[in-house]
């Protein structure tokens, strides 16, 4: 059973033409409460988690390592949790490549987690279970919502697809 909830709806809103690419406190807390073990924060932007290895392609970001989300500078199966906020204009034909990169980096152990902030719902294969989906609007109206997604590896013995 997937837990579905909504956060972020507010009567106060701010429209900005210059986003800071930083998680609002309530979104940051959502990720912090669900992260376990060794954590990778991929596409970190201006959000830095002190308990994670923060990676981004932009040298102006708050990253610990500069790297591409499709080919991160890390070895495979090294992380218990991956947090990722990919670019919102991630081309549809590149999404499977991104999913493969994430599943290569996460440990193949029951309970491993992938936590996302996206505008689409990716498929990680039948061995991954979507545990939680949160609809997040943030502080602005009349803009697309974000989805906060919590996936957990349920059975590492199943083939991915």
Instruction: Domain of residue 40: give its range.
Output: 3-9+20-153
* Residue 108 falls inside a structural domain: yes
Q: What is the dihedral of CA 77, 80, 84, 90, to 10 degrees?
A: 30
pLDDT for the residue 50? 96
**Residue 15 falls within a domain, yes or no?**
no
CATH number for the domain harbouring residue 147: 3.40.50.150
Sort strands 81-84 and 113-118 into parallel, antiparallel or unpaired: parallel
Residue 133 located in a structural domain: yes
Task: Note down pLDDT in tens along the chain; length 161 residues.
Answer: 677 766 665 544 444 444 455 678 888 999 999 999 999 999 999 999 999 999 999 999 999 999 998 888 898 899 999 999 887 778 888 899 999 999 999 999 999 999 999 988 999 999 999 999 998 876 655 567 789 999 999 988 766 54
Residue 14 has a pLDDT of 47
| pLDDT of res. 11 | 46
């Amino acid at each position: 059973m997937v837990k579905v909830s909504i956060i972020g709806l507010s009567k106060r809103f701010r429209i900005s033409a210059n986003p800071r690419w930083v998680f609002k406190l309530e979104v940051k807390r959502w990720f912090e409460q669900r992260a376990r073990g060794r954590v990778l924060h991929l596409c970190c932007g201006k959000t830095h988690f002190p308990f994670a290895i923060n990676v981004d392609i932009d040298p102006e970001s708050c990253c610990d390592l500069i790297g591409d989300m499709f080919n991160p500078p890390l070895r495979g199966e090294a992380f218990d949790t991956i947090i990722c906020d990919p670019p919102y204009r991630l081309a549809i034909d590149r999404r499977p490549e991104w999913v493969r990169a994430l599943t290569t980096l996460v440990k193949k152990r029951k309970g491993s987690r992938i936590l996302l902030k996206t505008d689409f719902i990716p498929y990680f294969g039948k061995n991954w279970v979507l545990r939680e989906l949160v609809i997040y609007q943030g502080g602005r109206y009349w803009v697309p919502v974000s989805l906060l997604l919590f996936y957990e590896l349920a059975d590492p013995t199943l083939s991915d697809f």
